[in-house]
Chain A
Amino acid sequence: TQLLEQSPQFLSIQEGENLTVYCNSSSVFSSLQWYRQEPGEGPVLLVTVVTGGEVKKLKRLTFQFGDARKDSSLHITAAQPGDTGLYLCAARPPSNSNSGYALNFGKGTSLLVTP
């Protein structure tokens, strides 16, 4: 089973629109990270959220960690073509699992912003 479920899988919008993508799990995490990946490149870290209910802003991007630390959302305001990419959430397996230490990634949300 996938540790992190991301939705939607694909999203195509026009420049200037707002959007929200989601990352959900049944597990509790001590922290969660969001990455953005462009075609042919490796993922690039956007943010780490640690505290339940935490909200972090990065220019037009707003990240929220759920109160119970099981889910997270990424909201983009006034999307631009430069926001196009694959948005990935990632977290380490819970310490009480036997799934190891390294980050597990969701399948990502592929965002296309057209002019």
Chain B
Amino acid sequence: DTGVSQNPRHKITKRGQNVTFRCDPISEHNRLYWYRQTLGQGPEFLTYFQNEAQLEKSRLLSDRFSAERPKGSFSTLEIQRTEQGDSAMYLCASSLVGQNYGYTFGSGTRLTVV
């Protein structure tokens, strides 16, 4: 297994454009999480899936953000009408079900909105 894979690694977009990121989790992991991280901050939770079901969404996830996990495998995070404040590192992680399992993170997608 190659771990959690995120694409693209970097994305520069103009304000107002839509962007979509992809995450491929570890195949045995049925939980998948999206976090956002800005400079000097820890990762902030956005949303998570168990299999294909989206079980929790943060209030940080405005209506411009949408995430999907069709068939419970890879996931996509779309941001519509991007704003400069959306510039951040978007991290995906996966884990097994269970309170004490740690998360395996991908390398993230660095989004810059100009």
* Chain A residues close to B by CB (< 8 Å): 6, 30-31, 33, 35, 40-45, 48, 50, 88, 90, 92, 100-108
B102 A48 Cβ-Cβ under 8 A: yes
B106 interface contact, C-beta 8 A? yes
Nearest chain-B residue to A4 (Cβ)? B42
Q: Which residues of B have CB within 8 Å of A102?
A: 33, 45, 48, 56
Nearest chain-B residue to A86 (Cβ)? B42
Please report the C-alpha to C-alpha distance between residue A44 and residue B102 in the assembled complex, in whole angstroms.
9
Please report the C-alpha to C-alpha distance between residue A41 and residue B91 in the assembled complex, in whole angstroms.
9
B76 interface contact, C-beta 8 A? no
6 example contacts (A-B, Cβ-Cβ < 8 A) are as follows A31-B99, A40-B110, A42-B106, A50-B100, A101-B55, A103-B103
B33 A105 Cβ-Cβ under 8 A: no
Please report the C-alpha to C-alpha distance between residue A105 and residue B44 in the assembled complex, in whole angstroms.
7
Nearest chain-A residue to B108 (Cβ)? A42
Interface residue total, chain B, C-beta cutoff 8 A:
25
Please report the C-alpha to C-alpha distance between residue A35 and residue B104 in the assembled complex, in whole angstroms.
10
Q: Which residues of B have CB within 8 Å of A35?
A: 102
Knowing A102-B33, A103-B45, A104-B45, say if A45 contacts B56 (CB, 8 Å).
Answer: no
B48 A48 Cβ-Cβ under 8 A: no
Q: Which residues of A have CB within 8 Å of B48?
A: 101-102
Please report the C-alpha to C-alpha distance between residue A11 and residue B24 in the assembled complex, in whole angstroms.
35
Interface string of B82-114 (1 = CB under 8 A from A): 000000000101000001101111111010000
Q: Which residues of A have CB within 8 Å of B33?
A: 102-103
B105 A44 Cβ-Cβ under 8 A: yes
| Nearest CB on A from B91, distance (A) | 5
B79 interface contact, C-beta 8 A? no
Residue in contact with A105 in the complex, picked from B40, B42, B110, CB distance below 8 Å: B42
